Amino acid sequence: MTRTRHFWSNVAAVAYKEASVVRHDQALLATVLAQPVMMMLLFGLALSNKPANVPWAVLDQSRTALSRRLLEEVRTTGYFVPPRAVASYEEGRALLQRGGAVAFVVIPTSFRRDAERGTPQIQVLLDGSDPLTAARVSGYINQVAATFAVHPDPSDHRPETHVRSPGLIDLRQRFWFNPTLADQRFFLAALAGMLLTNLCLSATSGGLVAERESGTYEQMLALPTRPIEIVLGKLVPFVGLSYLVMLGATIGAGIFFGVWPAGSWFTLIVVTLPFVLASLAIGVFISTLAHTSAQAVFITVFFILPSFVLSGSMFPYQLMPHGIREFGGLFPLRWYQIASRRIVERGAGFAEVLVPTFALMALFGLILAGIRWRMKPRLG
């Protein structure tokens, strides 16, 4: 009995000691308390399966009051931004290819005449790389077409003008890049980016913290090397490992699910480098902020979860509210998933991923500047 009481007395003493350490670690407590608040706001405000602010393009070859009324009824559903008018079929296809539009509506020259005969038709091309968004956008346009009242143009006073069979518009739609709307293509195209984000941040976020805890941090800064040289030296070994992970995820998706990159492998390899460097640099920056390994772990998780949510890897970022959508652009994963999906699903080349590549390079430079500011080559 005495031995049992002594055992639990020791456990309580150690628990009290550890609780005192945690209670005085204000940075750790702030991070732990902030995580549920952050996730509640993300899932309550940022995420929705309901399309909004949908970009779309229009080629109105009819240019009649009837065609303009149809487009206006689509826009007033509240799900679409004002349409972008294009001058040719090729221009609309290019917008879909670049991801500048989710839907491309083509109204033929004979639209009004066909409406008078009771057989109006329009064509709708949809970006199927995001199956959920494509299906819902298609449903909204179909709903407008099904309830659209086809009446003759009031400016046309020809007595013979009439509608034989008012009602449905024959909607000819086609899904590009993912004709069957397979969910695997949407998620697997961004899988490598999510794996690399987790790897890069976890691998480097504890590096400088470990140096500080072991007492070698100031000694390292006293070496005849600049802080930027130390940082780059710490990043290089993980670049090769990151490429192995990227190639494994990409080849695995091709072998097991048939999702091979439709675009250039070389482009995918090139755009991966600034993404990996930016993600690794974020881990190092976290390491400069944290004072203990526990803080580094919590801050890393604090960054990884919003990165997955706000980047568009799991949910389309185009459907997020303004402000939150722009904030997601601060995460490297946002730009990498845009580039990788364009390469894997749309067959893009380097010209189509220039903007994401430059954005990743800019983020890497900005994070390096922050690391240099935090790494003070002096004691304390």
Q: What is the spatial distance between Cα 136 and Cα 112, in angstroms, rounded to a whole number?
A: 27
**For residue 171, which phi and psi values (nearest 5 degrees)?**
-95, 110
Give pLDDT, residue 163. 44
Q: What is the spatial distance between Cα 143 and Cα 135, in angstroms, rounded to a whole number?
A: 12
**For residue 343, which phi and psi values (nearest 5 degrees)?**
-75, -50
Task: Give residue 265's Cα distance to chain centre.
Answer: 21
**Contact present, 302 and 200 (Cβ < 8 Å):** no
Token pair 């691998």 is at which residue? 203
Contacts of 47 (CB under 8 A, 6+ apart): 309, 315, 320
SS3 for 84?
Answer: strand
**Contact present, 144 and 73 (Cβ < 8 Å):** yes
How far CA 170 is from CA of 75, 128, 142, 181, in Å, comes to 19, 20, 9, 21
**For residue 270, which phi and psi values (nearest 5 degrees)?**
-65, -45
Helix/strand/coil percent split, the chain, to 5: 65, 5, 30
Which residue ranges does the chain devote to CATH 3.40.1710.10? 56-181
Give pLDDT, residue 52. 74
State both tokens at 183: 């969910």
Q: What is the spatial distance between Cα 215 and Cα 205, in angstroms, rounded to a whole number?
A: 17
Q: What is the spatial distance between Cα 362 and Cα 231, in angstroms, rounded to a whole number?
A: 17
Q: Which helix (H) or strand (E) holds 19?
A: helix 2-24
Give pLDDT, residue 30. 67
State both tokens at 346: 């749309």
pTM of the model: 0.77
Selection from 259, 260, 273, 284 nearest residue 204 by Cα: 284
State both tokens at 107: 């109204």
Q: What is the spatial distance between Cα 377 and Cα 380, in angstroms, rounded to a whole number?
A: 9
Fold of 56-181: abc type-2 transporter like fold (3.40.1710)
Q: What is the spatial distance between Cα 254 and Cα 148, in angstroms, rounded to a whole number?
A: 43
Give pLDDT, residue 160. 46
Give pLDDT, residue 164. 42
pLDDT, one tens digit for every residue, the chain (380 residues): 677 777 777 777 777 776 776 677 666 666 666 667 766 766 666 666 677 778 899 999 999 988 899 999 998 888 888 999 998 989 998 888 888 889 999 999 988 888 888 788 899 999 988 888 888 898 889 888 888 876 655 554 444 444 444 446 888 889 988 888 888 888 899 999 999 999 998 888 876 666 665 555 555 555 566 666 766 777 788 899 999 999 999 999 999 999 999 999 999 999 999 999 999 999 888 888 877 777 777 788 878 888 888 888 887 777 777 778 888 899 999 999 999 999 998 888 898 899 999 999 999 999 988 888 877 654 44
Give pLDDT, residue 197. 94
